[in-house]
């Protein structure tokens, strides 16, 4: 496929995914087109045709189209699902802060990957992250990644496993590590993952590159959620709820929890509902997998306990997620002894 055709294809696929309202903002950030030539009051289909036409007239290459694609992902990261990886066993050639810039990473990645296959690489820095895009021309395979400069963490979007593993290995070697492991942590919000990986899970909180941008934010003093609706509402058991709030503030801390959209709990334990079915034998094992989903499950757990839909104190493995960086758990009962064993 010719360069111009590839550029048009990439451009139109990005613009089709973008809302009309977001398109102007995206193209302004891109800065490659004279926006005064574009009539944004047209229908979306006509707008896309118009923009592709203007790009052809200006001979914009596929390189710039790929940059627009990367810019779209950086401006709307929540439209992808990001999975965290940790690099381990430094080789002694770990990159310095000066080397950790977009140009260096792009050139090094191109050199490493061109040995295996022809690909397009785009890297940019935005909001203290390095955002990257690696695509195979003529094939709709693209991998997006984020690196937190000077840290040992990478985020990847979930698709394209084979290409992803090639890019992972290349990045690992460039950044100076021998191996890379998959962390049980994923979210559509890279900022939340940055908060957990760079700050909350590190007891020394030594990461400085982001200048504190992704540090947890202090929670504002809040009223009872029911009281917010109407000040004439009288809250029953106010003392009990105040006690719960103190316990939950101690468990969750005074910072707003990072935004994770799911938690998975697998249990293979002895039956604990004997209050209702007393005849079930004591050694019967019940296998369950419980998934909690929502826009912010950690804050949700806290609110459930505040509202009385959960008993405070909550289990520690649920309240410590921002510190442990795990959102998948497995609880089993030991085969021989009677104590339950917590394993993750």
Partner 1 sequence: MLNKTWDAHSCSPLHGFHENTASLDCYGRSLSAVLVASKSKNIGVEVVDSSVTSVTFKLVHGIYGIHNGLKFQVLTKSGKIIFESFLFSSEQSLSSDVIMASSKLTMLPLLVCRGDRSTTKVVFDWLKTEFDCSLRKITFNPLSLGWLVAMWGSVKGQGSTHITWEIPMVETGIDIIESEIDGESVALLWKHAHEDSTMEVTIDEVRGFVASIEEHLTQHTKILFNALTMQQIKTPVIQVRNDGKFKVTSGDHLFHVMADVATLALEHLDHYTPTM
Binding residues (CB under 8 A) for partner 1: these are 225, 265, 267, 269, 271-277, 279-280, 284-305, 307-315, 318, 331
Neighbours of 66 (CB within 10 A): 23
Distance from C-alpha of 234 to C-alpha of 316, rounded to nearest angstrom? 31
Distance in Å, CB of 196 to partner 1, minimum: 16
Distance from C-alpha of 188 to C-alpha of 92, rounded to nearest angstrom? 33
Burial of 129 (0-12, 13-18, 19+ CB in 10 A): buried
Taking CB atoms within 8 Å and a gap of at least 24, the contacts of 23-26 are: 23/47, 25/75, 26/68, 26/71, 26/72, 26/75
Distance from C-alpha of 39 to C-alpha of 44, rounded to nearest angstrom? 11
C-beta closer to partner 1: residue 103 or 283? 283
Burial of 56 (0-12, 13-18, 19+ CB in 10 A): middle
Distance from C-alpha of 149 to C-alpha of 42, rounded to nearest angstrom? 41
C-beta closer to partner 1: residue 132 or 258? 258
Distance in Å, CB of 198 to partner 1, minimum: 23
C-beta closer to partner 1: residue 90 or 295? 295
C-beta closer to partner 1: residue 9 or 226? 226
C-beta closer to partner 1: residue 137 or 216? 216
C-beta closer to partner 1: residue 4 or 292? 292
Distance in Å, CB of 185 to partner 1, minimum: 18
Beta-carbon contacts of 191 under 8 Å, excluding residues fewer than 6 positions away, are: 214, 258, 259
By C-alpha distance, which of 202, 203, 120 is closest to 153? 202
């Amino acid at each position: 496929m010719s360069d111009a055709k590839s550029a048009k294809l990439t451009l139109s696929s990005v613009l089709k995914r973008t809302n009309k309202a977001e398109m102007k903002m995206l193209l302004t950030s891109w800065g490659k087109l004279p926006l005064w030539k574009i009539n944004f009051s047209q229908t979306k289909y006509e707008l896309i045709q118009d923009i592709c036409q203007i790009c052809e007239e200006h001979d914009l290459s596929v390189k710039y189209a790929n940059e627009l694609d990367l810019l779209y992902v950086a401006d709307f990261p929540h439209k992808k699902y990001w999975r965290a990886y940790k690099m381990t066993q430094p080789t002694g050639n770990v990159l310095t802060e000066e080397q950790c810039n977009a140009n260096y990473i792009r050139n090094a990645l191109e050199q490493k990957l061109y040995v295996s296959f022809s690909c397009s690489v785009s890297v940019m820095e935005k909001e203290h992250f390095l955002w990257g895009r690696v695509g195979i021309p003529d094939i709709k395979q693209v991998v997006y990644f984020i690196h937190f400069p000077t840290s040992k963490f990478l985020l990847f979007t979930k698709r394209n496993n084979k290409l992803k593993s090639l890019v992972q290995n290349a990045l690992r070697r460039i950044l100076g590590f021998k191996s890379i492991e998959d962390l049980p942590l994923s979210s559509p919000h890279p900022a939340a993952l940055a908060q957990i990986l760079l700050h909350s899970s590190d007891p020394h909180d030594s990461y400085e590159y982001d200048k504190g941008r992704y540090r947890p934010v202090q929670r504002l003093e809040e009223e009872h959620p029911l009281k917010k609706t109407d000040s004439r509402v009288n809250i029953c058991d106010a003392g009990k709820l105040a006690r719960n709030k103190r316990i939950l503030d101690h468990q969750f801390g005074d910072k707003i929890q990072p935004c994770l959209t799911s938690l998975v709990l697998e249990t293979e334990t002895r039956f604990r509902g004997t209050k209702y079915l007393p005849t079930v034998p004591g050694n019967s094992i019940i296998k369950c997998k419980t998934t909690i989903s929502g826009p912010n499950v950690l804050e949700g757990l806290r609110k459930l306990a505040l509202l009385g839909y959960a008993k405070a104190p909550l289990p520690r493995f649920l309240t410590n997620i921002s510190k442990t960086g795990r959102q998948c758990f497995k609880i089993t009962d030991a085969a021989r002894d009677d104590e339950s064993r917590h394993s993750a």
